């Protein structure tokens, strides 16, 4: 997807109300009052807190919080796309030269499953920002895995295959269990959010899987610079958005990811790539 096309899609959500996962509280209140007037003889029970499905509580909208819940996630869609595409150059180079060099395949293997889980969570809570931010990554990460697998050998190949197959098996079994058991929408969304959060925390820390090599060689070349900066920027924005909408499944893993990103940055500064 071209950047201009992505910007058009993001802008469209600023004007469209066709699919809004987090409706405006004033609109809800107005609808409730109208309903009470029409049905004064009946007891009306209305869910006023859509964020409860996401593990949060109601948010009182202010000008500043409105900015965080509209502008920040739109920028977050761009930063998420940059995060997912940050390994693109390294993977393309490895595929062209048929040599992995210092490229770490572990984050790519985890990304392939993590991005898909976040896409499904975004769909379950009907959040266009969470959903759109993971569509490019779900596609790109599948290509990353298929591109690097032929270049892997020995224990590195086995580890990568085990990660992809193992995480995919956990994901498929979770989705099957949620579909075949009598679970409420809130329970399903919470389970999906918890699982996606756990995977994202693992993904954010996976570049540090080579920390032993970095410390022993005093060379941080195995930690991608583009991925580090994209991770810090992206997780900072999504942490702010998650806190604003009080969704622990958004701000929790992103705050952890921000911490891991800062550790990667510190390693890059202390042990520059050679």
- What confidence tier does 63 reach under pLDDT thresholds 50, 70, 90? low
Q: How far apart are CA 123 and CA 126, in angstroms?
A: 5
Q: What is the pLDDT of residue 33?
A: 47
Distances 7 to 133, 138, 164 between C-alpha atoms, Å: 12, 18, 32
Q: How far apart are CA 274 and CA 37, in angstroms?
A: 72
Helices (H), the chain: 3-13, 25-38, 63-85, 88-97, 106-124, 128-132, 135-148, 154-180, 185-205, 211-217, 225-245, 248-270
* Cβ neighbourhood burial of 206 (10 Å; 0-12, 13-18, 19+): buried
Q: Is the pLDDT of residue 49 over 50?
A: no
Mean pLDDT along residues 73-89: 89
**pTM recorded for the entire structure:** 0.69
Q: What is the pLDDT of residue 148?
A: 94
- The residue whose two tokens read 């898909």 is 116
Q: Is the pLDDT of residue 150 over 70?
A: yes
Q: What is the pLDDT of residue 58?
A: 36
Q: What is the pLDDT of residue 227?
A: 86
Dump pLDDT digits (tens) for 189-227: 999 999 999 999 998 888 888 888 888 888 988 888 888
Q: Is the pLDDT of residue 94 over 90?
A: yes
Q: Is the pLDDT of residue 24 over 90?
A: no
Q: Is the pLDDT of residue 66 over 90?
A: no
């Amino acid at each position: 997807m071209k950047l201009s096309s992505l910007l058009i899609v993001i802008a469209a959500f600023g004007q469209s109300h066709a699919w809004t996962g987090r409706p405006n509280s004033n609109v809800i209140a107005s609808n409730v009052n109208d309903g009470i007037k029409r049905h004064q003889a009946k007891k009306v029970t209305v869910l006023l807190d859509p964020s409860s499905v996401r593990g949060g509580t109601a948010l009182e909208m202010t000008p500043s919080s409105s900015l965080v819940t509209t502008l920040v996630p739109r920028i977050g869609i761009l930063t998420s796309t940059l995060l997912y595409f940050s390994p693109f150059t390294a993977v393309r180079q490895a595929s062209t030269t048929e040599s992995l060099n210092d490229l770490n395949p572990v984050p790519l293997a985890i990304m392939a499953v993590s991005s898909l889980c976040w896409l499904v969570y975004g769909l379950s809570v009907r959040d266009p920002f969470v959903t759109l931010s993971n569509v490019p990554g779900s596609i790109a990460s599948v290509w990353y895995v298929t591109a690097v697998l032929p270049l892997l050998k020995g224990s590195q190949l086995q580890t990568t295959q085990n990660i992809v197959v193992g995480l995919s098996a956990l994901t498929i079994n979770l989705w099957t269990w949620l579909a075949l058991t009598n679970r409420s929408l809130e329970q399903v969304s919470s389970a999906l959010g918890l699982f996606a959060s756990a995977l994202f925390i693992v993904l954010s820390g996976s570049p540090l899987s080579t920390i032993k090599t970095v410390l022993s060689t005093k060379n941080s070349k195995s930690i991608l610079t583009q991925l580090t900066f994209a991770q810090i920027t992206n997780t900072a924005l999504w942490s702010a958005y998650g806190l604003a909408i009080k969704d622990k499944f958004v701000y929790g893993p992103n705050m952890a990811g921000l911490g891991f990103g800062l550790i990667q940055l510190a390693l890059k500064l202390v042990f520059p790539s050679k």
